[in-house]
Amino acid sequence: MTAFAELAEQIGNATAVEIMGAGTQRGIGGAVDASKPIVEVRAPTGIVSLDPADMTVRVLAGTPVGVLSAALAEVGQECPLDPENSAATVGGVLACGCSGIRRIRYGPIRDRVLEVRFITGGGRLVRGGGPTVKNVSGYDFPRLMVGSHGTLGMLVEVVLKTQPIANKSSWYTSELAPDLLRTSIYRPACIAWNGKMTYVLLEGHEIDVLSQASELSLEPAQPPPHPIGEHRGRISIDPTRIGSLAKSLGDIKVPWLAEIGVGTMHVATNNAAELHDARLVAHGEGGWLLREAGAPLLDPFGAVPSNREVMGRIRDAFDPLGKLNPGRLPFARFTP
Amino acid sequence: MGRGRVRAEPLELILYQSDAGTARGQASVVCFPESIDDLSFAIRAANRHCVSFVARGSGTGLAGGATPVANSLVIVMTRMNRILEVDPVGRVAWVEPGVLNLDLTRSVRHLGLHYAPDPSSQQACTIGGNVGTNAGGPHCLSAGVTSAHVLAADVVLGNGDIVRLGGLEPDAIGYDLRGCFVGSEGTMGIAGSIAVRLTPDPPETRTLLADFTSVDAAAETVSGIIAEGIVPAALEMMDAPITRLVEEFVGAGYPLDAEAVLLIEVTGLIGGVDAEVDAIRRVALERGARQVKVAITEQDRMLLWKGRKSAFGAIAKVAPDYYLHDIVVPRTRLVEVLKRVYEIADEQNLLVMNVFHAGDGNLHPLFVFDGSEPGIWERVYAAGDGIIQACLDAGGVLSGEHGIGLEKRDYMSLAYSAEDLDAQARLRDAFDPDGFANPEKILPTGSRCGEMKRAPEGTWV
Ligand SMILES: Cc1cc2nc3c(=O)[nH]c(=O)nc-3n(C[C@H](O)[C@H](O)[C@H](O)COP(=O)(O)OP(=O)(O)OC[C@H]3O[C@@H](n4cnc5c(N)ncnc54)[C@H](O)[C@@H]3O)c2cc1C
Ligand SMILES: Cc1cc2nc3c(=O)[nH]c(=O)nc-3n(C[C@H](O)[C@H](O)[C@H](O)COP(=O)(O)OP(=O)(O)OC[C@H]3O[C@@H](n4cnc5c(N)ncnc54)[C@H](O)[C@@H]3O)c2cc1C
């Protein structure tokens, strides 16, 4: 029996499963309900085929991102999943749906996935999308699976779109206001701001990187430090409201790092109650806070989407017995 | 909904029995909502009478997506054509779905912004239709197709409920319903307003025209450019028949004796642009290009593009009928699949022209013929079957941008297993449990496990 078929049978026969990647992001999306007997399942690992001339790679979902990156680097390419920890697996990163720090230039990770194969709660192996860079044939399972927190299926294999590694990539700092930098720089790879300093990542041809840096008097620098703390969250907000959100977070003294032009804001604190306060501030500005780590008593999402009924029906359709990561994504349960 | 906004005169209904593709259907009633509340009202009314409905933008779709089957109510979105809000700082526009693609770009041009997806039909097609088909265009090679540019949509579901999918924040809570909706060809509901991303105009642009004495050499150059690690902003190919036709039509300066030309655009900052122009020129010359022309001024560039963009207009002028295909293959298989396309045309004794998004591996074989010739349609359909088979054999997919609709619905089981299609049907049903939204499209009947096989009423494809 093939590895996929064995996993499908295992999931089909189980009462409940927890899908495991490398395991550090288990706090994201909510704790798995421990009241049922849980079987841990893991996606297989390995690179199936790497086609540099087509700029695509077919990879098994359990493969650590670091392993994938190393293989791609050998042919001068990359896939900007950019997890903070390169031990994270491809499946885990996609399931969490958190895009990396270079999103403003390279897009969200959901735009990277061309094809998915996954095992549903009923133990069926399903394929969606296709291996080509462009495809509209049927419904977009790749995008559905990204950010689904392992509640619709276990990813076993994906095809990702790769890109050439830029010939120059450098971090800089600047005293200029982040919004001014954003309008002055053509396609930056990241503009990060923590209220004191603006950090800029430029990628591209060496001539362009150096000339933009000198025109704007940017100072070469290390990447921005992420806020440190046991309790961590990621705020998602209309990027035009970063400024007022920053002010409100400053009022409650929670450290943050904002991705300008994207609307992602990283916050961390050693006091769980402060993460809750940061969430309230985010809600006040029309955003929401994903609990990434710590603060076990805090709701994983802190809000219920207005379209949760559709989400609940989708979950029911793919996992009618509620086997996959039960407890995670708690609002997406169908209540007719 | 006021009188003028609902019509059912038989002559008028004929106008709405199909899109620009070949499938014909039958409309029962046509309506023209002017707001999202009208739209919701129309859908609820259809629900009450147990009538299904289909969204129609400009009807330029080629797969039969907007073609009404099962006596559906046709909901024409073209009166909802206001640009609601443009935020030049956030680089976002909220538009109604009936806004024409090119009108949006024109209206933000003075801000140094544009809407990136640029289908060849952009003068005529609507943003709503583009969302429906996840439309692409020449410049989607580096910028990405429609889905990468749609941030949010207010959608009326099959039961008349209005829901927001996605949002202006980078990630919405829960599943990516926005992502599911884009490309769903109106089968998950109808978008009543759409938030799209606007893209800053590039500081430098170069348009290259490379001409070749063989189609193979041109196709090898395409693969060669990608293999070199270059993703141009656009990489289009035209073969000899279409090049000559277009040249006679607009005089864009294309060589009349070339077997194929490539139209390539690179954009960005000057260092990268110069390096890419040099590399592309080298790759093309190494593979046998006779000449590589580089257009720098806006005027010269526009002239080169005018040829490409007039291709379909030129064909419509000379051919009584045409059939435009849409398949995608891995870029490394372009040469062999293109060869196969010419063989298939020969086998069926048909004239084929090729003008397509080569950089994505997205082929558009175009058969040009006189439909009144006896037996011709059988040959055209047989050639289509052959092309789809050749595409799937090469690891390709059924459609890159036109969608599945009715046209390719019955090919879906060649591309996907029964379990794959069952899962797709479940996803569709989760959005529209009663099956009112654009029924019988995309998924072949029998996709749901245990479903009865039945022929769609009042259709022929
Ligand atoms: C050898 C090793 C060394 C490590 N070193 C460090 C270290 O130094 N510092 C540190 O902080 N961490 C370390 N880690 C932990 C690791 O980096 C984190 O676990 C990782 O960042 C996140 O794991 P993950 O992304 O694979 O997903 P997980 O955290 O396992 O899972 C995240 C979510 O994705 C879901 N999921 C996972 N895989 C799939 C799939 N295939 N299909 C569907 N859903 C899926 C899960 O159910 C869960 O909901 C180490 C791990 C290993 C194995
Ligand atoms: C000459 C020519 C060239 C073309 N070139 C290209 C090209 O380069 N790239 C490309 O991608 N396509 C191309 N097309 C195909 C066509 O223009 C696109 O598919 C376009 O997106 C259709 O837009 P429309 O407004 O005409 O939609 P329609 O044809 O009216 O509808 C298309 C689909 O979208 C659905 N729909 C319409 N409005 C909505 C809404 N508000 N909400 C949800 N669903 C909706 C419909 O139900 C239908 O399924 C071309 C067509 C022609 C005739």
Q: Is the C-beta atom of B146 inside 6 A of ligand 2?
A: no
Check whether residue A113 and residue A247 sit in a common domain: no
A204 touches chain B (CB under 8 A): yes
- What pLDDT does A37 receive? 86
pLDDT for B450 beyond 80: no
In this prediction, the residues of chain A whose per-residue pLDDT falls under 50 are none
- What pLDDT does B445 receive? 84
A286 touches chain B (CB under 8 A): yes
- What pLDDT does B448 receive? 74
Check whether residue A28 and residue A92 sit in a common domain: yes
Higher-scoring residue by pLDDT: B422, B314: B422
Check whether residue A209 and residue A248 sit in a common domain: no
Number of domains in chain A: 3
Note the pLDDT tens digit of each residue in B340-352.
999 999 999 999 9
Residues of A in contact with B163 (CB under 8 A): 306-307, 310
Q: Domain limits at A180?
A: 168-220
Contact: A111, B147; criterion CB under 8 Å: yes
Check whether residue A197 and residue A244 sit in a common domain: no
pLDDT for B203 beyond 50: yes
CA B60 – ligand 2 centroid, Å? 5
pLDDT for B267 beyond 90: yes
Residue identifier of the C-alpha nearest atom 9 of ligand 1: A85
Q: What is the CATH number of the domain that holds A106?
A: 3.30.465.10
C-alpha separations of A149 from A155, A215, A326, B297, B350 in Å: 10, 43, 11, 50, 51
pTM of the full structure:
0.95
Average pLDDT over residues B246-268: 94
Check whether residue A49 and residue A81 sit in a common domain: yes
Please determine whether the domains at B83-200 and B319-393 fall in the same fold group of CATH. Answer: no
Residues of A in contact with B400 (CB under 8 A): 132, 134-136
Residues of A in contact with B423 (CB under 8 A): 120, 124, 126, 128, 141, 317-318
Contact: A132, B329; criterion CB under 8 Å: yes
Q: Which two tokens stand for residue A148?
A: 């689904």
- What pLDDT does B360 receive? 94
Considering only CA atoms, which of B401, B407, B400, B354 is closest in space to residue B384? Answer: B407
State how far the Cα of B418 lies from the Cα of B427, in Å rounded to an integer.
Answer: 14
Note the pLDDT tens digit of each residue in A125-169.
999 999 999 999 999 999 999 999 999 999 999 999 999 999 999
Considering the domain boundaries, does residue A304 fall inside one? no
Cβ neighbours of residue B74 under 8 Å, at least 6 residues apart? B16, B27, B29, B30, B31, B53, B54, B56, B66, B68
Q: Terminal CA-to-CA distance of chain B, rounded, Å? A: 33
Q: Is the C-beta atom of B236 inside 6 A of ligand 2?
A: no
Tokens 């000899």, located at residue:
B240
Note the pLDDT tens digit of each residue in B15-70.
999 999 988 999 999 999 999 999 999 999 999 999 999 999 999 999 999 999 98
Where b means 16+ CB within 10 Å and e means fewer, B341-373 reads beebbeebebebbbbbbbbbbbbbbbbbbeeee
CA B147 – ligand 1 centroid, Å? 28
B86 touches chain A (CB under 8 A): no
pLDDT for B366 beyond 50: yes
pLDDT for B8 beyond 90: no
A262 touches chain B (CB under 8 A): yes
pLDDT for B437 beyond 80: yes
Average pLDDT over residues B282-305: 95
Check whether residue A67 and residue A158 sit in a common domain: yes
Three-state DSSP class for residue B346? helix
Check whether residue A7 and residue A101 sit in a common domain: yes
Architecture of domain B83-200: 2-Layer Sandwich (3.30)
pLDDT for B451 beyond 80: no
Residue spans per domain, chain B? 6-76, 83-200, 204-312, 319-393
CATH number of B204-312: 3.30.70.2190
In DSSP notation, B39-86 reads HHHHHHHHHHTT--EEEESSS--SSSTT---TTPEEEE-TT---EEEE
B101 touches chain A (CB under 8 A): no
pLDDT for B456 beyond 80: no
Contact: A137, B173; criterion CB under 8 Å: no
Considering the domain boundaries, does residue A134 fall inside one? yes
Q: What is the CATH number of the domain that holds A242?
A: 3.30.70.2740
Q: Quickly count helices (H) and strands (E) in chain A.
A: 10, 17
Contact: B176, A305; criterion CB under 8 Å: no
Q: How does the average pLDDT of chain B come out, rounded?
A: 93
Domain boundary among A188, A220, A252: A220
Q: Does domain B319-393 have CATH number 3.20.20.100?
A: no
> Among all residues of chain A, which has the CA nearest to that of B221?
A53
pLDDT for B320 beyond 70: yes
Choose one of B38, B67, B121 to mutate for the ligand 2 pocket test, by most ligand atoms within 8 angstroms of C-beta: B121
pLDDT for B3 beyond 70: no
